[in-house]
Chains A and B, each alone.
Chain A
Amino acid sequence: MQNAPVTSTEAHLDRLRGDVAPVNHNARTIAALTGNPGCRRRAVLDAAGVDKKAMSVHIGHPVPFGQSTFAITRGNAFEAQVKANGCAELLTMLRERLGLDIAEVAYNDLEEAGGNGSREVRHALARRMIDGAAAGVEGAGTLFDHPLLGLPIGGRTVYLEPDLIAFQVGAQFHIIEIKSFPVIDGQADGGKVAAAAVQSAVYVLALRRLFEELGHDPQRVSHNVILVCPENFSNRPVATLLDVRRQLTVLKRQLSRLRRVDELLATLDPGLTFDLGVRDGTATRPAGEVVAALGEVEARYSPDCLDMCELSYFCRAEARGTTHALGRTVREELGGIEFVDTALRLAEGRLAPTVELAETAHALRTALRMRTECLS
């Protein structure tokens, strides 16, 4: 029977995704979730682990997406420099900025567990080391390089491959995030710092969760993360404390929303699927069907999406002509008017405004008058 009741959320998500392995979240995608919390399309697709990139290519709106290889190389080189020689540069900074004790130099490489790089083994090792450190075992360590943390997202444990070291000053654990964008005269690119803050907040959350599971006080994980960046135009690293409390709150709310994904699913047609019908590496399902399926779930496009969602080009094409496609500011200014065309007609007086829109219509007419005056 086609409309058989779905037994569980998990089964429903599997059906939505189709016969392919789910795409895993990482700190970047989790961070991106907070960017546009109102988008139901993204919430559903991400919860189901749909390969949005393959989908965007299939439906003809590919996104030139992903990190530049140059940026990745630069990031890795800077990270290697900071960690070279037993984290010599990092220790110097931590001693100067945070008053780290001279004796606190123990370093644990958790990137491999005895040559075994599998996620389960590495996660188990990281758990054991951090448990030892939190319990105050003698010589348990100060710096932990690349611990593999887990965070349940939408009912699945997501392993986070953090680009960082968790570290202990006194009894507090801090997340260290090494980024290769420069801090010039004490100022860094706001957007990049914000992105780093959200990513670090994901790690803080994962580490706090681990503490809870191990029976330690999660508040021992500091909400101040240490951001290490090159200083000015040199390659010299500089450490800055970054308060991520706000990001933590947003993340927690987002993740709790993700957990309520079953409520979102309840509103969908049980027969709906985003399966691309991949056979031998190529998608066989007609693109029109996929587009129709996407149309079943409401999206909330805003220009910010272009930076972080693989489907953004599709949503932008779909949202053409609506006021919210012009950005959050415009949408708020023109509250109640959905289409650009309506706004134009109101401005030109070709449409009589309703009572609710009288104020907006007045503003639009004024704007048009001023524009005409400026241009004439």
Chain B
Amino acid sequence: MSDPHVEIRELIVERGGRQVLAVPELQLARREVTAVIGPNGSGKSTLLAALQLLLPLKQGRLLLDGEPIAGDPVAARRRMAAAFQEPLLLSMSVRENVELPLRLRGLGRRERRQAADAWLERFGITALARRPARALSGGEAQRVSLARAFAARPEVLLLDEPFAGVDAPTREQLLEDFARILAAARPTTILVTHDRGEALRLADHVAVLIEGRLRQWGTPQQVFSAPADEEVAAFVGVENVWPARLLELRDGLAIWQAGPLTIETAPLDGVETSLICVRPEQVTLSSPSNAADPSSARNHAVGRIRAAHSEGPFMRVAVELEGGGAQLVADISRVSWDELELAVGVSVSGTFKASAVHVIPGREGAAGERG
């Protein structure tokens, strides 16, 4: 990256003598949105707190526009703004809350008021301006919290699961408004989230933190389709991970043996063992008598449905493969589930394209059976 806006170098944070975060290097491009994802306790919030100098660093350098920020924490924080999962509003009116960051920066009353009113309008909460902030509903309060963060006119916007505490219908509308406002204002943004949908919808890049370590950084497509390792794969929802051994290279394809499955992928130089990853939504199910044309979907397997449950608009189906020892997980639409008259115990054929397969080299035997 030629001109990173935010740089993290050799960052280590300890808590109680235990290392909770170690990020050798992370650069954020100007005006880009980076989603930081990872399981609970993986250090995501710690990373945001470190960036705001809200906790002591064991070591590391944080740079904003190439300049270290450690010398003057208040000045650095005034170039940023943050909103958290809890709205954390102060006991004053909604408008006063939104004005607050500008008041702390010494702006005059009129300028504060104009800015606050503009952000209240953008977030659709003008009518709440005079209401006590502590008397709002969860969704309203989060809108105020986000309006307050934007009102600070931050170069860097830090968001820690801001939509996680909002109920589903409210959340959808809030996300839609937020995405529109973010696209217009476009500060350099770090969004901590555990929600894949939010990351896919909002982020230019995704950073995966697991156990305090930065395990992968890339575009959402790269991270979700081509996870760097087994744990990242598990976290980003790759339900099918099979240890595999290379059988042969044929017709420009690599042929792998993964338990009872024979899988074709694009070839990798010098890789003999691997973990084969397939996202469940890349798998198509059909009746064994009506299997998809193997030429377009090169990989197929037959088995019996072991379990199925609803995942919102989808059905997640676990198929016990013939030959034993392996399971194929597929996400199919409810319509398909009904049309194919599927049920637990029914035989099905699962297919997925060679291009849907991601290969993590060199880990045969590392993965347990998953499903």
Partners in one complex: no
Which A residues are closer than 8 A to B by beta carbons?
none
Which B residues are closer than 8 A to A by beta carbons?
none
